Structure 1
Amino acid sequence: MSFSQLGLNDPILKALADVGYSQPTEIQKQAIPIILSGRDLMAAAQTGTGKTASFVLPLLQKLDAQAGFSELRGRSIRALILTPTRELAVQVEANIVEYAKYLDISSLAVYGGVDSEAQKDRLMDGVDILVATPGRLLDLAYQRALFFSDLEFLVLDEADRMLDMGFIDDLNKIIDRLPSDRQSLLFSATLTDDIRHLADTVYDDAAEISIATNKKTAPKIKQWLITVDKDRKSALLSHLINEQQWNQTLVFVEKKHSAAKLVEQLGKRGILADSIHSGRSQAVREQILADFKAGKLRFLIATGIAARGIDIDDLSRVVNYDLPYPSEEYIHRIGRTGRAGAKGEAISLVSKDDFKNLCAIESLLGHIIERKEVEGFAVKKAVPISILNYLPKRRV
């Protein structure tokens, strides 16, 4: 199936051709026709499956088709896309610009961590598509910097992550302000009871699709772990980078002070890295991400804020320096590689302290993660192996 068979118009097809997209992914095949038909939608799709395009493309088509009938008024918006993080808001808006290249449709991303005055100035004449984090959106609404009376479309992107981050009260306040006569779309990695409860506040009767269960990850992502004592993790990471001549690599840690410490430890071994976390300004984070995407920076250390906000073509490798909690975050982290059907590699450095998190992750996946050993890094504190899920170690 081609994108043209989904009913998308020529300007959108031309933009897709410019970025090299020829065939839709499964989520796109199923979601785009439903959204074009005008139905509300609740969809479960893992990261890396082309989810953003599955709602952005039909929104662009519908907004373009109605351009002659819906005049934008000052400080009004026609479509609202809510995301959990600043990084994801920036990424989604960048995709909108890319796909709307040949359309007369405006877009803007608003988020905290930066001065709101420039954002308010951009909203003065109205914006077709606004991508926003919940907190900043409410701030702008309270300041009467934008109005929702002309809103036609609502998208909740990464709804599960927004609930995990405690945005439920903000979401309810936002939804209460929106016109009831709108098309609503909810996208989530999983359709849990909490997500369904949230969906009940968004719409009464929606189409539902599920592309991947929450126990599976992309088959082209090669997953493996190395057991290592906690105090030797940075040495092991340096060894792997040098001995295996790793190229661009995204490394996840749990805490922001751990990110800064790891950058320093790698630097002492001659490996240039940088970090993004909540303690750094938005401008700095954006510049570091831009350098990483452009290949100017090979090694990026990130806390979980980046798990769903980084979209890099051909990122070959993700490393879990620390295992995440909750376990679902593991899937989103490794979903930064192996995107759109490409091959990728996910390596976890696991110490005895990580055992409980490892068990939770393997339970979620439904299988054990293959274990390997690295010569010279034999552990003093062994990491147990589940009797029910045993795989032999391999030496590399």
Structure 2
Amino acid sequence: MTDQHLLEDEVTFASFDLDPRLSRAIAQLKFVHPTLIQAKAIPLALAGKDILARARTGAGKTAAYTLPIVQKILASQEPDSVPCTKALILVPTRELAEQVTTHINRLLIYANQSVKVANIAGQLAPQLQRPMLAEKPDILIATPSKVVTHLEAKNLDLSGLQTLVIDEADLVLSFGYEEDLRKILANLPKIYQSFLMSATFTEDVEELKSLVLRKPVILKLEEEKEEANNLTQYVVRCSELEKFLYTFIMVKLRLLRGKVIFFVNDIERCYRLKLFLEQFSIKSCVLNSELPVNSRYHIVEEFNRGIYSYLIATDESDLSGEVDSEDEVDDQDEQDQPKLKKNKSKVERDQEYGVSRGVDFMNVAAVINFDFPGSTKAYTHRVGRTARGGKQGMALSFVVDKDDAVHGSFGRNHANDATVFARVQTKEAEMNRQIKPYAFDSKNVDGFRYRVEDALKSVNLVAIREARITEIKREILNSEKLKMHFEDKPKDLDFLRHDQALQPTLVRKHLQNIPSYLMPKINGQQTMNTEEDVGPVHFTKHKKRQHKGPAKNKNPLKKIRRR
């Protein structure tokens, strides 16, 4: 029996001897058995040890450090003690800061009058955040740049700090925060407890370890084999046009069930895909660095609640400089690597935006790499949004080979797709994971090709530009409204839906429904265009057979069910 199974059977949160208020909150959250990282890290943290922990995405790293922080503050409180900031949690993005804050507030539901929490990672001006810091919050969540801003303005005093956490440490460094971290460390007391949490160990993390940690306990918790098997990975080699064609088929015919994240590589692409889906009356919402931070928080929250099924997220890895290390890229790869386009948008992007990692997307059934990522690291973190918490998940990636990679085709250059995919395939093979080829049967999909081409004619650069402006204006208004009282009036939130149609161009009504003659035949029987009948349609090139139930369905996409 593995260590993981022993932990699940024997260790509970009750065995950590926590404050009764914290234990009650944990019970309300229905936390019973800790994950491997939590079971290993929490006792060490409560014993005062410095910790350097590496664990896969979705392993429960946030609770592994937030729970000891809350317990330590509750246990050390004295009636006449002078207020001071006791814990500082540094994160790379505003989205992650919001989720960490939410998690801590849930742990403090029965002790919120005793422990103050402040999140200063938002876009509020420093002068507006000054009153918040003047109250000396016990726990402070921030990005490194915001902490430095307040330290230089004398708004923040960290002389009484007891605990420092750097979450997603490798990403913090890749965002260019190294100099900010050095300034923060110079303002800390001589003695404090430190946690470095990361999904990967890089040379930069090793260097940071020597600066921050003192005789740390190093936890390298590898993914259990059965956990790795929860993620099924596929690749589809196709042309740029076929990416839209196959996406239409999977969504419109409901071959994808449950919540799906589509990753694209730039903002223009996210609006192109959204407008394309709108041509077929398919609702989706977009998430990118141009949207106001309040709207981004709200979109992630509502996606997690199941309000939206399809999220188109822009993975702007070029903002963070997240690229493969030198040992993964050879000279030929460097020659093939296209130069990044300069951003010509007049709309300011949020440099602290990031959704491909860190942010906790819940119950994601599938991740679709509509645009293949530019590095193996980006791929790993994208597919890590699904198959979390022991649940099944699927990742499907579109790869356009060089022969089909026409520069400027639908606004996308695919010259590097095959090169990066080869590196990803090698890395996955080293970890005994396989990316399986997935083929669509041309006989079944060619009938839809003209409809897709017709829809794409309306999704031109002018339409994308208008949609981009429309969405930003709408989300700015939503962002202001979100500051008000909508929690008390949940029905009003219908006016703030993020998946409303942009419709800058004419939507052709004949594209919204699929005529029966286009539906594939199964054993000579015409399928009907209903949710119940569309489900069993097979598009792969395997032998046709009578569909007798989901348990024996050979179509891998049909394994994804709404949870």
Query: 2:452: which partner in 1?
Result: none
Query: 1:346: which partner in 2?
Result: 395
Report SS of the residue matched to 2:62: helix
Q: Give the CA deviation at 1:208.
A: 0.6
- Whether contact under 8 Å (1:15, 1:101) holds in the other structure is yes
Query: 2:379: which partner in 1?
Result: 330
1:178 is aligned to 2:166: no
- Residue among 260, 263, 266 paired with 1:255: 266
Q: Give the CA deviation at 1:245.
A: 4.8
Query: 1:284: which partner in 2?
Result: 295
- Whether contact under 8 Å (1:319, 1:348) holds in the other structure is yes
- Residue among 426, 441, 445 paired with 1:363: 426
**1:179-228: per-residue Cα shift (whole Å, max 9, x none)?**
12100110111122221111111123111111127999733122222222
- Whether contact under 8 Å (2:50, 2:214) holds in the other structure is no
Question: Relative to structure 2, which stretch is displaced further, 240-249 or 96-105?
Answer: 240-249
Q: Map 1:89-238; keep pairs closer than 5 Å.
A: 89-103=97-111, 104-212=114-222, 218-238=228-248
Question: Relative to structure 2, which stretch is displaced further, 311-320 or 80-89?
Answer: 311-320
- Whether contact under 8 Å (2:267, 2:314) holds in the other structure is yes
Question: Relative to structure 2, which stretch is displaced further, 2-11 or 64-73?
Answer: 64-73
Q: Give the CA deviation at 1:271.
A: 1.2
- Whether contact under 8 Å (1:64, 1:105) holds in the other structure is yes
Code of the residue aligned with 2:264 in structure 1: it is V
Query: 1:54: which partner in 2?
Result: 64
Unaligned runs of 5+ in 2: 1-10, 316-353, 402-413, 447-539, 543-554, 556-563
Query: 1:387: which partner in 2?
Result: none
Query: 1:384: which partner in 2?
Result: none
Query: 2:32: which partner in 1?
Result: 22
Q: Give the CA deviation at 1:122.
A: 1.8
- Residue among 11, 22, 25 paired with 1:12: 22
Distance (Å, rounded) in 2 between the aligned partners of 1:62 and 1:89:
21
1:67 is aligned to 2:77: yes
- Whether contact under 8 Å (2:12, 2:32) holds in the other structure is yes
Query: 2:440: which partner in 1?
Result: 374
Code of the residue aligned with 1:233 in structure 2: it is K
- Whether contact under 8 Å (1:240, 1:246) holds in the other structure is no
Paired-residue identity, %? 31
Q: Give the CA deviation at 1:72.
A: 4.7
Distance (Å, rounded) in 1 between the aligned partners of 2:378 and 2:226:
13
Distance (Å, rounded) in 2 between the aligned partners of 1:358 and 1:135:
34
**1:100-143: per-residue Cα shift (whole Å, max 9, x none)?**
21222221222253444443222221111111111122122222
Larger proportion of strand: 1
1:267 is aligned to 2:278: yes
Count of residues in correspondence between the two structures: 380
Distance (Å, rounded) in 1 between the aligned partners of 2:245 and 2:128:
44
- Whether contact under 8 Å (1:328, 1:364) holds in the other structure is no
The normalised TM-score by structure 1 is 0.90
Distance 1:176 1:228, change over 3 A: same
Report SS of the residue matched to 2:86: strand
Distance (Å, rounded) in 1 between the aligned partners of 2:158 and 2:13:
32
Question: Relative to structure 2, which stretch is displaced further, 214-223 or 179-188?
Answer: 214-223
Distance (Å, rounded) in 1 between the aligned partners of 2:157 and 2:125:
20
Distance (Å, rounded) in 2 between the aligned partners of 1:49 and 1:222:
18
Question: Relative to structure 2, which stretch is displaced further, 14-23 or 361-370?
Answer: 361-370
Distance (Å, rounded) in 1 between the aligned partners of 2:46 and 2:174:
30
Query: 1:388: which partner in 2?
Result: none
- Whether contact under 8 Å (2:365, 2:394) holds in the other structure is yes
Query: 1:240: which partner in 2?
Result: 250
**1:46-103: per-residue Cα shift (whole Å, max 9, x none)?**
1110110001111111111011178353xx4110010111100101111101112122
The normalised TM-score by structure 2 is 0.64
Query: 2:311: which partner in 1?
Result: 300
- Cα RMSD, aligned residues only: 2.3
- Whether contact under 8 Å (1:224, 1:369) holds in the other structure is yes
Question: Relative to structure 2, which stretch is displaced further, 196-205 or 279-288?
Answer: 279-288
**Max radius of gyration: which structure?**
2
Distance (Å, rounded) in 1 between the aligned partners of 2:179 and 2:372:
29
Distance (Å, rounded) in 2 between the aligned partners of 1:162 and 1:289:
21
- Whether contact under 8 Å (2:19, 2:75) holds in the other structure is no
Report SS of the residue matched to 2:53: strand
Distance 1:149 1:28, change over 3 A: same
Query: 1:381: which partner in 2?
Result: none
Code of the residue aligned with 1:31 in structure 2: it is A
**1:261-299: per-residue Cα shift (whole Å, max 9, x none)?**
221121122111121111222122122223322222221
Query: 2:367: which partner in 1?
Result: 318
Code of the residue aligned with 1:158 in structure 2: it is E
- Whether contact under 8 Å (1:28, 1:54) holds in the other structure is yes
